Structure 1
Amino acid sequence: MSDLLGRATALDAADPLASYRDRFLTAPASDLLSYLDGNSLGRPLEATAALMEDFIRRQWGGRLIRGWTDGWLDWPTTLGDRLGSIALGAAAGQTVIGDSTTVLIYKLARAAVDARPGRDRVVLDTDNFPTDRYVLEGIAAERGLELVWISTDPVSGVHPDQVSSVVDERTALVLFSHVAYRSGWLADIAEINRIAHAAGALTMWDLCHSAGSVPISLDEWGVDLAVGCTYKYLNGGPGAPAFAYLRRELQDSLRQPIQGWMGHRASFEMGHGHEPAPGIRALLSGTPAILAMVPLHANLDMLAEAGIEEVRTKSLLLTDYVLDLADQWLAPFGVEVVSPREQARRGGHVTLRRAGFEALLEPLWDSGVIPDYRRPDGLRIGPAPLSTSFTEVHQGLAVLRDLLEKQR
């Protein structure tokens, strides 16, 4: 047994979260050897399948439209409060589930810039996820704003000193990702918030690659607005609804632009003119995606039981192990690590870079190894702490090593 395999075996034996792997639905062994894309789409839970069947047969099939008065209408806020408590460091009444990440970014960013009249600049970075950049480009065109771009190294991410050099009395909003989607860089939210607030700007954070993987303290850090998805580390399923956080002190002054009936103070009055609901519910627009919220019940139960701090501890061990495998096995083939090696600055995934990686995707998949690929030449390794073992990481990167050897 090699030292690296022996280490994986020992880490698995000592892993206090190892038993959680048995709670996930598994593909046939012939089809899946190593799933390393938990940072793009989390695996489904056995409990999710049971909940979905129960919901369809008993709640939807049995109660039909009466289900709305059984509590469905409150799911966006009750699930939001649970998510806030378990994973976001947010007190009740500040988090809501609904819409897609893109739509929620638009809602909150539009509300934020409108709440800062006389300020005409929005600060963002060049390597943020495309939807964040595209939405802000559209809002800037709508509202006559200037976008101030911070050029970020794809190997790292946004630094406080970069923010300090561009925010000023004209800045309405800054928007960055907590964990950079390409490199896994973990931003210093608290310090960046302090800098932006000192200039009178609002702060907004994309939590898609950190929620459910990295401990988050939105209230403590003074975050104004945040958005994130639920289908990565939160295992909500393909296209699961996103979440939005709006700090309580801002809820009376920010008005989101998509005024739908569910965000009305009395949805079923069907009256003339839009009157926003009090509090976080005003962020809702249309009918909530109830069926799509069912999986969140199962995963939030599991995450509450496991504990986000314990998840983070294993995540760092997993990504440390990925780094060691990359250094010993892959570096000789010209593979470069383009993620932070410092734990305090690293999220839940590691990105490897080498020209020609795209050609290896099909043989990797054919071998039952599923990483993620980001153009132009990045292979993201995203082990999910509750569903991925160290041995599984070893098996997956061993296949990558062998393919590189054959390619050479």
Structure 2
Amino acid sequence: MKTLEDVRALDAADPLRSFRDRFDLPEGVIYLDGNSLGARPKTAAARMADVVEREWGQDLIRSWNTNHWMDMPRRLGGKVAPLIGAKPEEVVVADSTSINIFKALSTCIQLQPERSVILSETGNFPTNVYMMQGLAAASGGRVEHRLVATEDLVDALDETVAALLITQAHYKTGYLHDMQAITRAAQDKGVLVIWDLCHSAGALPIDLNACNADFAVGCGYKYLNGGPGAPAFIFVAERHQDRVMPVLSGWLGHARPFDFSDIYEPAPGIDRFRCSSPSILAMASLECGLDIFADTQMTHIRTKSVALCDLFIEQVEARLDGHGFTLASPRDATIRGSQVSFTHEHGYPIVQALIDRGVIGDYRDPGIMRFGFTPLYVSHEDVWQAVEILQDIMTTQAWDKPHFHARAAVT
């Protein structure tokens, strides 16, 4: 088992160690929840203030042109693209993850009119499943949504399935699907694949084009550090873009929105997948998070992510043996994202006790304690200290207090 000296040596040799200074992290807090909400880049406050005070306050509506507000969805899409192995013209930042999932699903139904099933795995993130159910309900029987166990996904692919919607890194366990193998298996059966990258974009290398992916969506507020409710992104492979009429045919997806025509004419390429007016303040914040990645290499991020997660597993299992923790994430790092989950029958109050002591993770039923490791600002010593505090909480039974058992609205 690694010692504290070993851990400090790892931090001293870390090529990403200087990136921690680019984030505002409260003193005394070990933040292990970047898989839910990323920390704030230090540049974000000044950037948003400039948008509010100068661009909005002084330039007013002229900012759509003079400060390039109208171009932000494509500009930010171009900054997401290298993180997910896409061309800049295949990604646009717009709307929310849920809306972009609906766009992708409805596009697949158009592209595969002879097929009626949209498929996903049981236990997928709820918004994905709910969007499938909503689309099926709105179709009047044309579309059927179907869920199968993870191990049955490939066998469920047949000539009735139009689209497979799958999350690369599972939100509860961090289980990492093999993007290349699943995409190939689906496309061999004529099935289009939509990848949800919410828990993987910015945390590990992704190469959508190398996998011949069809569609992908992701949010901006987890590992991309764009702020609460940051805009999402959608990837549409170039070969599909001009073949569909968007179901959500919003004004800004029109070829010439300022013609104010009564007839919708979709814009060429990825722009037709824009719908609503861009949220300028939120996009400004997200751009601060994306700009940090220009100075990094995803291989460095992934290498450190694996080391942090492995260290956490090692320390918890060695120092808390007999305290009722069971690893819920894959032990094999090649099939694990940038988070580690343990189950415990008292998981919720234990997480609350940790938060009270400055170690921030989160909880998901049933009994899952989630810890996300963002390599840009989490150190190896953070991991060591977090387990030290967890060990103390368990040894002293500090978690077993009434206020730690009281459920909050957000867990």
User: Is the 2:166–2:196 Cα contact (8 Å) retained in structure 1?
Assistant: yes
Larger mean CA deviation between 236-245 and 265-274 belongs to 265-274
User: Is the 1:120–1:146 Cα contact (8 Å) retained in structure 2?
Assistant: yes
Which runs of structure 1 show a deviation greater than 4 angstroms over 4 or more consecutive aligned residues? Answer: none
Q: 1:151 corresponds to which residue?
A: 149
| Structure 2 residue 281 is matched with structure 1 residue 291 | yes
Q: 2:219 corresponds to which residue?
A: 229
Deviations 1:72-115 (A, max 9, x none): 10110111012102x11101211010111111111111121122
The CA deviation at 1:298 is: 2.0
Larger mean CA deviation between 62-71 and 93-102 belongs to 62-71
User: Is the 2:33–2:360 Cα contact (8 Å) retained in structure 1?
Assistant: yes
Q: 2:200 corresponds to which residue?
A: 210
Q: 1:156 corresponds to which residue?
A: none
The one-letter code matched in structure 1 to 2:365 is R
Separation in 2 of the partners of 1:384 and 1:3? 21
Q: 1:83 corresponds to which residue?
A: 80
Root-mean-square deviation (Å): 1.4
User: Is the 1:163–1:195 Cα contact (8 Å) retained in structure 2?
Assistant: no
The CA deviation at 1:3 is: 4.5
User: Is the 2:231–2:286 Cα contact (8 Å) retained in structure 1?
Assistant: no
Separation in 1 of the partners of 2:88 and 2:22? 29
The one-letter code matched in structure 2 to 1:148 is R
User: Is the 1:108–1:256 Cα contact (8 Å) retained in structure 2?
Assistant: no
Q: 1:62 corresponds to which residue?
A: 58
User: Is the 1:163–1:196 Cα contact (8 Å) retained in structure 2?
Assistant: no
The CA deviation at 1:150 is: 2.0
Separation in 2 of the partners of 1:266 and 1:135? 29
The CA deviation at 1:248 is: 0.5
- Identify the match of residue 406 of structure 1 among 369, 379, 396: 396
* TM-score, scaled relative to structure 1: 0.94
Separation in 2 of the partners of 1:322 and 1:58? 45
Separation in 2 of the partners of 1:94 and 1:4? 46
The CA deviation at 1:297 is: 2.3
Larger mean CA deviation between 55-64 and 321-330 belongs to 55-64
| Structure 2 residue 99 is matched with structure 1 residue 103 | yes
| Structure 2 residue 148 is matched with structure 1 residue 129 | no
Separation in 2 of the partners of 1:189 and 1:255? 27
Separation in 2 of the partners of 1:147 and 1:360? 37
User: Is the 1:228–1:244 Cα contact (8 Å) retained in structure 2?
Assistant: yes
Separation in 2 of the partners of 1:13 and 1:28? 20
The one-letter code matched in structure 1 to 2:75 is T
The CA deviation at 1:212 is: 0.3
Separation in 2 of the partners of 1:13 and 1:42? 24
Q: 1:155 corresponds to which residue?
A: none
The CA deviation at 1:281 is: 0.7
User: Is the 2:101–2:131 Cα contact (8 Å) retained in structure 1?
Assistant: yes
Deviations 1:147-168 (A, max 9, x none): 332213xxxxxx5xx3331111
SS in 2 for 1:22: helix
The CA deviation at 1:387 is: 0.9
Separation in 2 of the partners of 1:260 and 1:123? 27
Consecutive unaligned residues of structure 2, counting only runs of 5 or more, are: 401-411
- Identify the match of residue 191 of structure 2 among 201, 222, 225: 201
Q: 1:41 corresponds to which residue?
A: 37
SS in 1 for 2:57: helix
Larger mean CA deviation between 52-61 and 245-254 belongs to 52-61
Map of 1:332-371 to 2, 5 A cutoff?
Answer: 332-371=322-361
The CA deviation at 1:60 is: 2.0
SS in 1 for 2:234: strand
Separation in 1 of the partners of 2:49 and 2:135? 41
Separation in 1 of the partners of 2:110 and 2:23? 44
User: Is the 1:81–1:95 Cα contact (8 Å) retained in structure 2?
Assistant: yes
- Identify the match of residue 113 of structure 2 among 113, 117, 121: 117
Q: 1:219 corresponds to which residue?
A: 209
Consecutive unaligned residues of structure 1, counting only runs of 5 or more, are: 153-158
In the alignment of these two chains, the number of paired residues is 395
* TM-score, scaled relative to structure 2: 0.93
The one-letter code matched in structure 2 to 1:170 is T
The one-letter code matched in structure 1 to 2:349 is A
Q: Identical aligned pairs, as a percentage?
A: 40
SS in 2 for 1:380: strand
